[in-house]
Structure 1
Amino acid sequence: MAQGLSSQDSIKGGRNGNVTFNYKQLIIPTVLVGYGIIGMENKNLKDLNLEINEEVTENIDRKISVDDFSQYVPALAVYGLNLGGIKGKNNLRDRSIIFATSYLIMGSTVYALKKTTHVLRPDGSSNNSFPSGHTATAFAGAEFLWQEYKDVSIWYGISGYIVATGTGFFRIYNNRHWLTDVTMGAGIGILSTKVAYWIFPYINNKIFKSNKNNSSVMVAPFYNGRQMGLGMILNLH
């Protein structure tokens, strides 16, 4: 007799069964997202935002812009390790499709929320504080690094999350975001990459199936004088 899935069950798919969904994986990112959402209206969490901001503005005089660069480090580490001969879970093509899917989900979610919530930044510079895009980018990359290399060494994944956490910290340190912005960004980043792995078998089979033998991928950072980012080219001929 068929039975429903419990919280202990998982759904596996993809090549070699390397994509696994488990409900427990939703706990941490859901808590982070929940904190961010509740914090927009909850007085106690708003007061905590203000207390942290007061500490930042009163006791920290010098800003450190390392977060503009560190947000990309976890994702770039995946390709750096591969170039160094350390193979991860997926080949270059497959991981790049997953990576692009993750960034599409993360970027569109962050953009939509910024445009609809209109939260003022701590420094008063603009009304697009919620959620933190830097933090979302860093945590999406950290989960990407975790998924690709946790079976090689758990320390690869842990190091990615340390860098991502540091990125979130410096967004607050530099007076650019509230704590609720950072927690929401972290949750979105983690969920975006998890979803990208879960739906990869469908994307691979339905969209890229006919191009498996003739596709190539190139990923590279870019800088236009004002913004940094990661660019990706998929050659599907």
Structure 2
Amino acid sequence: MHKIIVLLFFLTISYFSIAQNASDRIVKDSIKVDYNKQLKFNYKQLIIPTVFVSYGVIALESDQLKLFNSEIKEEVNEHIDQKITIDDFSQYTPAIAAISMEALGVKGKNSLKDKAIILSTSYIIMGLTVKSLKTATHEQRPDGSDFYSFPSGHTATAFMGAELLYQEYKDVSIWYGISGYLVAAGTGAFRIYNDRHWLNDVVAGAGIGILSTKAAYWLFPTINKLFTNNKSTTKKSAFIPFYNGKTVGFGLVATF
């Protein structure tokens, strides 16, 4: 168990070390809609999540990495007394924190509405990706309960929220972002501890979660322009995308 926690911890710290030196800058646009606080696309931002996902995919076929997975499973099973289901709740903690911080008087880069759109978009991207990969890979869970092990949806959800928390509040305090990633890493560790996922499932889930939120920020200006009505000064409406695990669609929000 110590090996798992240390490995996930260093994966998280490695991400922050590189992210701080990457070109993770803010776009300053002069168009009417305020996009001056959105994440600018840069290929360097793809490096870390791509490495995570690549490791997960390679481990599906690599005998050496499969052996590593099995060794971790054996070590966990030797020391586990009972399952701790905190990961069923901790997966949502970073995202909830990112949305609710404003209610506590801590303002992020974007308004509550914009954060909701970004979160919804990232959840759709993450949900569709995870569901598609689970169906395509048909990987059996360590506990043998089903064949939907790869990738870890809980971990993807946690890292998706952690990246949102990081992007919104890193300029207020870097510790908000770090705390979100520590919770996400802990979620991944408990998925392994509870014998629900292999290590590569968790690593791939982390990459998918991070990349989903980054993609949502990159897509936000386009989505907001397409689905926001700016023609009327007395009435405004917006379509917010949603994904509930089975259905994809859009919800209408209107003010009069």
TM interval, short-chain normalised: 0.7 to 0.9
| Shift of residue 214, structure 1, vs aligned partner | 2.7
Question: Where do residues 164-183 of structure 1 align in structure 2 (5 Å cutoff)?
Answer: 164-183=184-203
Q: Partners of 1:121 and 1:22 in 2: how far apart? A: 35
Q: Partners of 2:25 and 2:99 in 1: how far apart? A: 28
Tell me the TM-score normalized by structure 1: 0.85
Q: Secondary structure at the match of 2:144?
A: coil
| Match among 105, 108, 113 for residue 85 of structure 1 | 105
Q: Does 1:201 align with 2:197?
A: no
Alignment match, 1:153? 173
Q: Does 1:55 align with 2:75?
A: yes
Question: Where do residues 98-137 of structure 1 align in structure 2 (5 Å cutoff)?
Answer: 98-137=118-157
Q: Partners of 1:10 and 1:156 in 2: how far apart? A: 18
Identity of matched residues, %: 60
Alignment match, 2:164? 144
| Shift of residue 141, structure 1, vs aligned partner | 0.3
Q: Secondary structure at the match of 2:236?
A: coil
Q: Secondary structure at the match of 1:20?
A: coil
8 Å CA contact 2:229–2:238 kept in 1: the answer is no
Q: Give the superposed CA RMSD.
A: 2.5
Q: Secondary structure at the match of 1:21?
A: coil
Alignment match, 1:33? 53
| Shift of residue 233, structure 1, vs aligned partner | 5.9
Deviates more, 1:209-218 or 1:121-130: 209-218
Q: Does 1:236 align with 2:254?
A: yes
Q: Partners of 1:11 and 1:42 in 2: how far apart? A: 39
8 Å CA contact 2:87–2:191 kept in 1: the answer is yes
8 Å CA contact 1:10–1:23 kept in 2: the answer is no
| Shift of residue 194, structure 1, vs aligned partner | 0.2
8 Å CA contact 1:93–1:215 kept in 2: the answer is no
| Shift of residue 22, structure 1, vs aligned partner | 2.0
Alignment match, 1:22? 42
| Alignment gaps of 5+ in structure 2 | 1-21
Q: Partners of 1:151 and 1:144 in 2: how far apart? A: 13
| Shift of residue 215, structure 1, vs aligned partner | 4.1
Q: Secondary structure at the match of 1:236?
A: strand
8 Å CA contact 2:23–2:45 kept in 1: the answer is no
| Shift of residue 208, structure 1, vs aligned partner | 2.0
Alignment match, 1:4? none
8 Å CA contact 2:156–2:206 kept in 1: the answer is yes
Q: Secondary structure at the match of 1:64?
A: coil
| Shift of residue 57, structure 1, vs aligned partner | 1.1
AA of the residue aligned to 2:126: M
AA of the residue aligned to 1:235: V
Q: Partners of 1:34 and 1:138 in 2: how far apart? A: 19
Q: Secondary structure at the match of 2:53?
A: helix
Residues 70-122 of structure 1 deviation map (CA, whole Å, 9 limit, x = unaligned): 00000000122111011000001111100000000000110111111110000
| Shift of residue 15, structure 1, vs aligned partner | 1.3
AA of the residue aligned to 2:148: N
Q: Partners of 1:79 and 1:55 in 2: how far apart? A: 38
Q: Partners of 1:156 and 1:17 in 2: how far apart? A: 18
Residues 172-196 of structure 1 deviation map (CA, whole Å, 9 limit, x = unaligned): 0000000010011000000000000
| Shift of residue 21, structure 1, vs aligned partner | 1.5
Alignment match, 2:14? none
Aligned residues: 220
| Shift of residue 18, structure 1, vs aligned partner | 2.8
Q: Partners of 2:192 and 2:174 in 1: how far apart? A: 28
| Alignment gaps of 5+ in structure 1 | 1-6
Q: Partners of 1:87 and 1:9 in 2: how far apart? A: 20
